[in-house]
């Protein structure tokens, strides 16, 4: 028996309901959306990401009221906001701190999905929308980073846009199109402003809505990885589910309170966060004639930047050998003409790597590190979803993967050296081995039997 969403028939709400599905939408997605009763603190970060998104939009609107997207006025307009606009310093710091905190909560949200198998059937599309949101956030942060028109903003954009020129055939024209000029200039600033303020936010909001609609269609995952829709009472209500409102709206309020306390402490006492949130060089006006000693992206890009920087000529040879071995392995396992696609692809990639520069393959490695996330639902072949019921060595692999990613993030903030480059190369190999080896290692070991009902202790 399906759950019926009754609507108001009298008063103002009734008048609206007869013309717009207000009450039924509220019930379907909030008050009668049944979520698993065993959510833990890892489930705070989805709602926190939504909170930070609202913060970024609202503070961004107020910042655009006084910001000038002009190469001669951009830096001084930011200073004007900080020094002259009433509470302008607070709005600017809420926006700059919010950018970093956005990535903090999104990384933790994605890690929770990785732990509990939230990308597995039937939530593949939820995960894909989430990865698309992550890509949009990276684009939004990149375009917004140029807007203060400081030294690090200018030269960071120069370096990143120049990377596209390494793409064979179309690279030079593509980088020219992105800049709108032969160098980063006023034209670049204007188009980055348009992307940051209008284009990317529209796409981002659309993806967030799609992410939530897809989630509410299939239902939320839980730490046990059990589908609560499998067991319902005669009224069609999941036996292990509780309404999102008021239970989880109050539950999330506690997470919001703790988050806002940390958020406020950073804004008022350490908005630069030792140079990780706001770099010292970005408090210096952009100077095309003076290059900073070390050009590095903001901390949330540094793991991918370390992979890019680690892709040297010797490392490219290592990658060619690994790809050739993977192609040989695929050839041995191929049992039909249709399965020869992977060996042929491996040969083509090795030949392409032999005749192209390592700079281009650094861009490929950096992009591949993000694109790999999209294929996670089909790479993981484990018979259970949650890490709770997987073998111990699976948990070790997850730990090594996280450690490698954090190490890459740390190395990306430091100047390059032979030792750091070698460590970054090892960590990059671990990162990709985690995904490429998933079809094999996720099947191995002795798995625990998940319970038929979710484990829950009321508190």
Enumerate the known binding-site residues.
Answer: 95, 109, 196, 211, 216
Determine contact, residues 240/456, Cβ cutoff 8 Å: yes
Q: How far is the C-alpha of 176 from the C-alpha of 169, rounded, in Å?
A: 13
Residues belonging to the binding site for a ubiquinone are 216
Q: CA-CA distance, 137 to 128, in Å (whole number)?
A: 14
CA 107 centroid distance within chain: 6
Cα dist from 210 to 34, 123, 130, 315, 398, whole Å: 19, 13, 9, 40, 29
| Residues that constitute the known binding site for heme b | 95, 109, 196, 211
Q: What is the CA radius of gyration of the chain?
A: 25
Q: DSSP code of 429?
A: H
Q: H helices within 65-148, ranges in order? A: 74-83, 88-116, 124-145
Q: What is the DSSP string of 13-73?
A: HHHHHTTS-HHHHHIIIIIT-EEETT--GGGHHHHHHHHHHHHHHHHHHHHHTT---STTT
Q: Using alpha carbons, select from 326, 437, 342 the residue that is nearest to residue 381.
A: 437
Total number of residues shown for the chain: 459
The span from the CA of 124 to the CA of 117, in Å, is 10
Which element (helix H / strand E) includes 243?
A: strand 241-243
Tell me which H or E stretch contains 241: strand 241-243
Q: Are strands 241-243 and 34-36 parallel, antiparallel or unpaired?
A: antiparallel
């Amino acid at each position: 028996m399906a759950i019926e969403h009754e609507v108001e028939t009298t008063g103002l709400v009734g008048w609206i309901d007869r013309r717009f599905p207000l009450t039924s939408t509220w019930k379907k997605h909030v008050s009668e959306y049944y979520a698993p009763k065993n959510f833990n603190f890892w489930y705070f970060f989805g709602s926190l990401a939504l909170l930070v998104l609202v913060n970024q939009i609202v503070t961004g609107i107020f910042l655009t009221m006084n910001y000038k997207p002009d190469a001669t006025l951009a830096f001084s307009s930011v200073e004007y906001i900080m020094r002259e606009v009433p509470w302008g310093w607070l709005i600017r710091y809420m926006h700059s701190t919010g950018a970093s905190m956005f990535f903090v909560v999104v990384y933790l949200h994605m890690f929770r999905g990785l732990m509990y198998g939230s990308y597995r059937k039937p939530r593949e599309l939820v995960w894909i929308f989430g990865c698309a949101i992550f890509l949009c956030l990276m684009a939004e942060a990149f375009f917004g980073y140029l807007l203060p028109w400081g030294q690090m903003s200018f030269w960071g954009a120069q370096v990143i846009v120049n990377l596209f020129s390494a793409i064979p055939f179309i690279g030079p024209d593509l980088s020219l199109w992105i800049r709108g000029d032969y160098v980063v200039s006023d034209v670049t600033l204007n188009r980055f402003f348009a992307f940051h303020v209008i284009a990317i936010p529209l796409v981002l909001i659309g993806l967030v809505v799609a992410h939530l609609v897809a989630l509410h269609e299939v239902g939320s995952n839980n730490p046990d990885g059990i589908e609560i829709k499998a067991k319902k009472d005669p009224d069609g209500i999941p036996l292990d589910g509780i309404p999102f409102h008021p239970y989880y709206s109050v539950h999330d309020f506690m997470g919001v309170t703790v988050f806002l306390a940390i958020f406020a402490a950073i804004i008022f006492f350490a908005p630069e966060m030792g140079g990780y949130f706001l770099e010292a060089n970005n408090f210096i006006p952009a100077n095309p004639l003076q290059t900073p000693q070390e050009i590095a992206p903001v901390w949330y890009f540094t793991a991918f930047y370390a992979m890019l920087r680690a892709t040297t000529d010797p490392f490219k040879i290592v990658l060619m050998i690994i790809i050739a071995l993977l192609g040989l392995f695929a050839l041995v396992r191929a049992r039909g003409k249709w399965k020869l696609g992977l060996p042929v692809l491996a040969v083509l990639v090795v030949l392409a790597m032999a005749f192209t520069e390592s700079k281009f393959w650094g861009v490929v490695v950096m992009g591949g590190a993000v694109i790999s996330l999209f294929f996670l639902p089909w790479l993981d072949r484990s018979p259970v979803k949650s890490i709770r019921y997987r073998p111990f060595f699976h948990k070790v692999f997850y730990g090594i993967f996280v450690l490698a990613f954090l190490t890459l993030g740390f190395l990306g903030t430091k100047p390059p050296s032979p030792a750091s480059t070698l460590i970054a190369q090892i960590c990059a190999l671990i990162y990709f081995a985690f995904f490429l080896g998933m079809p094999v290692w996720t099947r191995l070991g002795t798995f625990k039997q998940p319970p038929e009902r979710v484990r829950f202790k009321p508190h």
